[in-house]
Structure 1
Amino acid sequence: MRRTYLVGLLLVLLSVGLVAGSPLIVTASENPDFDVYLPENIVEPGEETAIELEIRNGASAEDDAEVGDTPPGDARDITVDVSAADDETPVSVQTETTPMPTMSSQMLLSESFDIVVDENASAGSYELEVEIDYTYTTSGGSERTSTDTETVDIVVDDRARFDADLIKSELIVGDRGTVQLELTNTGVENASDAVVQFGAADQNLQAVTPTTEESELSAGTEEYIGDWEINETVTATANMELADDAVARTYPVTAAVEFRDEEGVDQTSRELRVGAPTKDQQSFGLANVTSDLVVGEDGTVKGELVNEGPNPVDGAVIVVDDSGDNGIVPDLDDSLGSGSNVYPREGQYAIGQLEPGESAPFEFRIGVGGEAEPGPRVIETDVRYRNGADEVRTTTEPLDAMVDVAPERDEFALDALNATFERGTGGDVELTVTNQLNETVTDIEAKLFTNDPLDSSDDEAFIPALESGESATVVFDVSVEDGAMAQTYPLRLDFRYDDARSNSQLSDTYRVPIDVVEPEDDGLSTQALLVILGVVGGVGAAVWWFRSQLAAAVEGVPVLGRLAAISIPNPLARLRRSGAEGGGDDSAVETRFSEPDDGSESEPATDETGSPSDDTDVLDDRTAAQKEAEPDPAETDH
């Protein structure tokens, strides 16, 4: 309870004046005369606080002036120094000599001084000495310097006092956290209905205001303790919030105890202060980011989310937002235009719990429009998570993932086998079809288109499904016209298929080269062979026809002289006879293949034994007969 000890003296003076029956006269001086008061003079052991001294210049212009007169006398160049009056006073003053402004007569000013009360201070009343130095002008006009020394009483009361120690600080820049204190009643009496009030001296740190409607108290700014015995230690927790732009350092956290003493009087303890360290803002990073994005296709962006601390988080979710212009944007250094042609298929990827320094993989399906420009892109991601107080938080600054978008490419790669044909031939063309997309495609229908000189009797093929990078073979029957020129001709082919989202797609037209070549040369062509056979046949027929004339011409020539004995097939023999009947000279010539005149079937020639004779014997006999009929050249000469 705050007390001032000047009240009694004032009452005594009033009583004396009334008894004397004369008006109250206050002796005044024309020179400055200072009085010092300490209205709030009760402190506790171990307390660090500030005391407010009230200082009044009591100078007056006239002696024995009645009360109410305004005496003259200004004090200038004033300095005030406060110290313990003796070694027994358990108080040390921390504030050095303090200057004050000029004080005219009867002026009252207040000045604050920091003090520290010893931890082991005994209860009782002690004195502080106040020394005031000043300069003034006398009534004669001379300048003088003077010093006034006054004393004030300070009372140490240890009926109930408290100490505070920090147990834990979970303060994070830009987030809410808890501060936990241990408070001990170090006084000489018990306290009841005790309430701990929390506060902060720094504007960047705020105690969370009460949030419950049922009670004025909450775990934020106040905590109810109740009965608190001597030397008992309790734990109190405060929820506090640190600003986003605050610096991670140690902040002062204050606590004061309101209680009722053993006499039922409401008391408030001195303000307790502890330093609460803080941590940097919860931070995340991206690592090992890769992508396979291609213009006109869906692709994936993969990477790892890293918890860079300082605290573990739960329920972490990485979020890609395409609702605005800042979701996925092009690299500004490359001036690629709008990023609206690149968009996520899914906007969130759940990570879960992450300890500081721990990482977890993520993957996003990203679509790239056919009108998009290839090049680098920046994908902005946020992280949503739950802090240690199970409160949902979102990172204030996005995490940038750098990815590249590749130029547009064909959906399929084609590799042709057996793609070379001779003109006038045909066969099967085998096509190996490879899925170059980053997704599985199904129900693939291949359609073949041909132009002269190529043709196909089977122009459709079907592939049930192809995973990314998988291949399958389709076969088409292709023929080449006889009159085709030896060169390369295109087979045209397209594909209709269903993508991973079951949307039907039609590919561009593919061209497969077919090489047409000349037939291989095996010595004689068919036409040359026919010409040769025709010539040989004609010569043979002429020989048979003019056999008799040729026989006479070559008589005596070995081998050729037997030409007349060569037989001809039956059809030629009949033709020969028909020519003889028409007046030819060769009607008498018979062959062993000639038909008998009576129309009976001819029999093969036999010798005397009845065995068939060979052609050599027949020719030899006929040659001998011819020689007998011919005249001897010797006789002719004669």
Structure 2
Amino acid sequence: MQNRLTAEFGKVAIITVMLLVGAAAWTVPAAAYGYDDVSEPVVTPTIEADNTLEPGETTTLPIALQNQPDQSIELTGDVRDLQSVIQTQGIRLGSAGGTTVEFHAGEAPIEIKTGRRNVGDIRPRGKQMTSVTVEVDEDAAPGTYQVPVTMNYTYVDNVDAWVNDQGDTVVTAVDDYAIDRETVTVEKTITVEIEETAQLSIQEATGNGLYEQANGRIEVTVQNSGTEAARDATLNMVGTEYVQPRTNGVGLGTLQPGETATASFQAAVADADTPGQYATDFQLSYKDENGRARQSDVETGRVKIGNGPAYELSARSEALYVGSTGAVAVEVTNTGDRTATNARAKIASTGPFSPVSNSVSLGDLAPGESTTATYRLEVADQALPETYSVPVTVVHQDSYGNRVADDDESVDVAVGPETDFTVTDVAETEAGSTTTLTYTIRNTGGGTFTDAVARINTNSPFETDDDTAYVGTLEPNETTTVSFTVSTDGAATPKSYTLDMSVKYDNQFGETVVTDVQSAPVTVAESSGGFTVGAITGFAGGAGALVALLPLALMFGIAYRTDLLSRIR
């Protein structure tokens, strides 16, 4: 009976049962029955993990709250009737109900980051899990420390029940009962151990040549601020959003407590558009006194990231016309804080432009210094004479020789109208004659014709062996005359005709340019019917040939007379 009650109801602080038998309609002797179970909940907190802590670390410890009651029993009588009270009222004997737990630093060099927690009921021989987060002081001395734990819970302290007793017969119905509960606050401790360890601290961090998109150098001085020597120590740079290591793993040897060392890293900067102080993280890898591989917490230093080279651009067109090859001169000024080393300016192939050369060396460009890059550009025939926006990128080398490209900037490039000319007069000739045709031409374009020649293209009824006339240099809006010797077919119909004329010249860059074809008007009149000395001379090459042509003239006259007689008939 004793074992059954202990297993079923667990821990009870004090249960006292008094069986009082009275008379309802008559009086009978009363018999008293008693049952005492002294069984207080005993809740003990323990760390269910390694309880070793390191200076400077923040960690969360899992805590188990275990209930192992301290129990003793004294029985004087039959108390089976008590079960109905316990079962009806849902009493869990020996349970620590509504348990709360709170941790305190006490004498330990830690800070508790967790407040009071409610863990609910803890059954007899059961447990509930909770946790506590602690932050260990940076300079915590090694040793073993007790961390106070305050627990608060409620348990059943006493249950009284009364039944009627008629002679030797016990009536099992319970007439009345009373339940007493008690709330207690219990102080316990958990044990933590702060061990000797090496600890990293950043004494100083400096940057050199650090700016957007560039590789520079970071030099950092660190100290072992722990209590244990760091053997075979290696310092690593941990990448951040703005700074990434390009070299890493600098060996420091053995770093004794309090000892300092300096390491240097190549680092790349990205997305740091605004100059200022930026975080750089470091971590120490080492072996402890037992030869175990250990790592320190990540520590943060700050380095200055400055402005790099910056550029201001302006452009000037040089003999840049529709359908020709010209140039654009781009002036580049370094408006930044650093020298642009081995700088180059690159122009994009865009719109109507096809660069003959698209990259020009600028050399070293110090802050405030300017230089000019000239690009030869071919302008498409379909281009319009207007101003175009053309992207230009300036690149330079950082202190490690890596290419750093500035954001694209645009320059305005003006294109003039197509180089052209006009024919300002009309030449005249007769059918069947050979005549020197003279024209006046005007340079109507924006560029100078250099070493220019004019050329005509003839078709029926014209022929020529003299289709080219030298022009030389012709400035914009300047005029000159050109002449061509042309033979006209004798059967040519008298009317106005046109010859095709173009001008070929060299621009100021030595490029040969051919203009569009223009019309050179010529009027053909009726033949006068005879030969003039000048015409014969021009045709035959001089007076010396006249004698040789007399027989031919005589034959022509006879033929003409024969034709005339046939018409009269």
TM-score of the superposed pair, with normalisation by structure 2? 0.57
Distance 1:302 1:234, change over 3 A: same
Q: CA deviation at 1:236?
A: 1.2
RMSD: 5.3
2:353–2:379 CA contact under 8 A, matched in 1: yes
Which position in structure 2 is the counterpart of 1:505? 514
Q: CA deviation at 1:228?
A: 4.3
* In structure 2, distance between residues paired with 1:301 and 1:321: 12
2:100–2:120 CA contact under 8 A, matched in 1: yes
Q: CA deviation at 1:178?
A: 3.8
**Equivalent residue for 2:262, pick from 226, 235, 238:** 235
Distance 1:300 1:95, change over 3 A: farther
Distance 1:247 1:474, change over 3 A: same
Which position in structure 1 is the counterpart of 2:317? 291
* In structure 2, distance between residues paired with 1:114 and 1:501: 79
1:152 maps to amino acid: T
* In structure 1, distance between residues paired with 2:475 and 2:156: 106
> 1:326-359 CA distances to partner (integer Å, 9 max, x unpaired)?
xx2xxxxxxxxxx3x3322222222233445554
1:409 maps to amino acid: E
1:384 maps to amino acid: V
Matches within 5 A, 1:316-465: 316-322=343-349, 328=350, 339=351, 341-355=352-366, 358-395=369-406, 397-406=407-416, 408-411=417-420, 436=445, 441-442=450-451, 444-447=452-455, 461-463=469-471
Which position in structure 1 is the counterpart of 2:567? none
> 1:267-321 CA distances to partner (integer Å, 9 max, x unpaired)?
6463252333464886744422333543223333333334455654433322234
Structure 1 counterpart SS, 2:137 = strand
1:505 maps to amino acid: V
2:221 maps to amino acid: E
Matches within 5 A, 1:41-60: 41-44=52-55, 48-60=56-68
1:447–1:459 CA contact under 8 A, matched in 2: yes
* In structure 2, distance between residues paired with 1:316 and 1:364: 16
* In structure 1, distance between residues paired with 2:476 and 2:327: 15
2:198–2:257 CA contact under 8 A, matched in 1: no
Pick the structure with more strand per residue.
Answer: 2
Matched, 1:253 2:253: no
1:305–1:361 CA contact under 8 A, matched in 2: yes
Q: Which runs of 5+ in 1 are unaligned?
A: 1-26, 65-70, 209-218, 323-327, 329-338, 420-426, 451-455, 479-488, 514-638
1:508 maps to amino acid: V
Which position in structure 2 is the counterpart of 1:150? 189
Which position in structure 1 is the counterpart of 2:105? 83
Structure 1 counterpart SS, 2:41 = coil
Distance 1:53 1:441, change over 3 A: same
Q: CA deviation at 1:194?
A: 2.2
Distance 1:400 1:373, change over 3 A: same
Which is bigger in relative contact order (C-alpha 8 A, separation at least 6)? 2
> 1:215-252 CA distances to partner (integer Å, 9 max, x unpaired)?
xxxx32x1122244676543212344555498876554
* In structure 2, distance between residues paired with 1:382 and 1:197: 36
* In structure 2, distance between residues paired with 1:98 and 1:173: 49
Which position in structure 2 is the counterpart of 1:127? 145
1:445–1:462 CA contact under 8 A, matched in 2: yes
2:63–2:131 CA contact under 8 A, matched in 1: yes
1:29–1:59 CA contact under 8 A, matched in 2: no
* In structure 2, distance between residues paired with 1:227 and 1:156: 19
* In structure 1, distance between residues paired with 2:414 and 2:200: 67
Q: CA deviation at 1:196?
A: 1.3
* In structure 2, distance between residues paired with 1:267 and 1:157: 14
Which position in structure 2 is the counterpart of 1:495? 503
* In structure 1, distance between residues paired with 2:345 and 2:195: 59
* In structure 2, distance between residues paired with 1:392 and 1:95: 49
TM-score of the superposed pair, with normalisation by structure 1? 0.52
Distance 1:383 1:190, change over 3 A: same
Which position in structure 2 is the counterpart of 1:314? 341
Q: CA deviation at 1:181?
A: 0.7
2:325–2:511 CA contact under 8 A, matched in 1: no
Structure 1 counterpart SS, 2:316 = strand
1:258–1:266 CA contact under 8 A, matched in 2: no
Matched, 1:224 2:251: yes
Aligned positions, number? 422
Which position in structure 2 is the counterpart of 1:577? none
Structure 2 counterpart SS, 1:107 = strand
1:361 maps to amino acid: T
* In structure 2, distance between residues paired with 1:303 and 1:132: 79
* In structure 2, distance between residues paired with 1:181 and 1:103: 54
Q: CA deviation at 1:38?
A: 7.7
Q: Identity percentage over the alignment?
A: 15
Structure 2 counterpart SS, 1:294 = coil
Q: Which runs of 5+ in 2 are unaligned?
A: 1-37, 73-93, 158-178, 427-435, 459-463, 486-496, 523-569
1:31–1:138 CA contact under 8 A, matched in 2: no
1:367 maps to amino acid: E
Which position in structure 2 is the counterpart of 1:549? none
